[in-house]
Amino acid sequence: MPMSLNWSHCGGEFTGVDGDAEMDVAGGDFTGIDGDAEMDVSGGDFTGVDGDAEMDVVGRDFTGVDGDEEMDITGGYFTGADGDGEMDVTGGDFTGVDGDAEIDVTDRDFTGVDGDAKMDVVGEDFTGVDGDAEMDITGGYFIGVDGDAEMDVSGGDFTDVDGDAEMEVVGGDFSGIDGDAEIDVVGGDVHSVQVNRISLCSGTATIYSTAVIPKKFPFILHVYSALHADIKFPHTQF
């Protein structure tokens, strides 16, 4: 008996809409995903148009933002760091292209506020150290221009108040240790044999008191604008 594409039961017949031996649904409120009156299946273990196990979308009702058949997300509230609608990632301890500790950006899609390919922050609550709306980083043990452990300022945007090449803060809620509106720094160096030095910077003169420390306990100590009294070294033996 020849095989029929129709299915008969109890005298009645069931025939697919297009005669291709598939079950078609043509009535009522169901029209399938693509509107061709066939039953469309979406679920696990689905073989798509190109033969892989992914669901492919080729219908006219779905188009990616850039037309590459991938799912694109465009959100109204996310603009990234530079406002180009892309997701920007920033991480700590990043070594840039030139080997320093800045974040270097070489991709053309990222442009800082001032066009220098560095990370800029333009939020109203952040103004940085020098007020230029860039992110400024200050860290311990900084080797200055003259090779000491002080922070020297030689750039244009930061103006030294008293001309002594030290960083000063003259605003608002910061007054330092001794109330003179300068940044007071107490730091040590335990990696080399040097002279223990306490520097007293009053803005007009610098006083040095020194004492030689044996090699078994080497360090150098700097105090800037912190004390206005005689310095004593009670420990003479180690």
Q: What is the 3-state secondary structure (H, E, C) of 74-106?
A: CCCCCCCCCCCCCCCCCCCCCCCCCCCCCCCCC
pTM: 0.14
Please state, in angstroms and rounded to a whole number, the distance separating the CA atoms of residues 233 and 221: 12
Please name the amino acid found at residue 207. I
Per-residue model confidence as pLDDT tens digits over 59-83: 434 444 555 555 454 434 344 555 5
Give the closest residue to 95 by CA, choosing from 107, 84, 105, 103.
103
Q: What pLDDT shows up at residue 59?
A: 41
What local confidence, expressed as pLDDT, does residue 170 receive? 43
Distance CA 237, CA 235 (A): 6
Question: Can you tell me the distance from the alpha carbon of 206 to that of 198, in angstroms, rounded to the nearest whole number?
Answer: 10
Q: Is 168 helix (H, G, I), strand (E, B) or coil?
A: strand
Mean pLDDT over the full length of the chain = 43
Is there a contact between 160 and 166 (Cβ–Cβ < 8 Å)?
yes
Strand partners, 220: 189
Of the pLDDT bands very low, low, confident and very high (cuts 50, 70, 90), residue 131 is: low
When pLDDT is averaged across residues 221-231 and rounded to a whole number, the result is: 35
Please name the residue that has the structure tokens 């009294």: 229
199-223 mean pLDDT: 38
Find tokens 């017949």 and name the residue.
13
- The model's confidence at residue 34, banded by pLDDT at 50, 70 and 90, is low
pLDDT at 79: 45
> Quick one: average pLDDT of 109-119?
44
> Does 33 score more than 50 pLDDT?
yes
Tokens of residue 106, six digits: 């070489």
Residue 123 has what pLDDT? 40
Largest CA-CA distance found in the chain, in angstroms, rounded: 118
Task: Give the CA dihedral 7, 11, 12, 13, nearest 10 degrees.
Answer: 30
pLDDT value at residue 68: 56
pLDDT at 36: 60
Q: Is 13 helix (H, G, I), strand (E, B) or coil?
A: strand
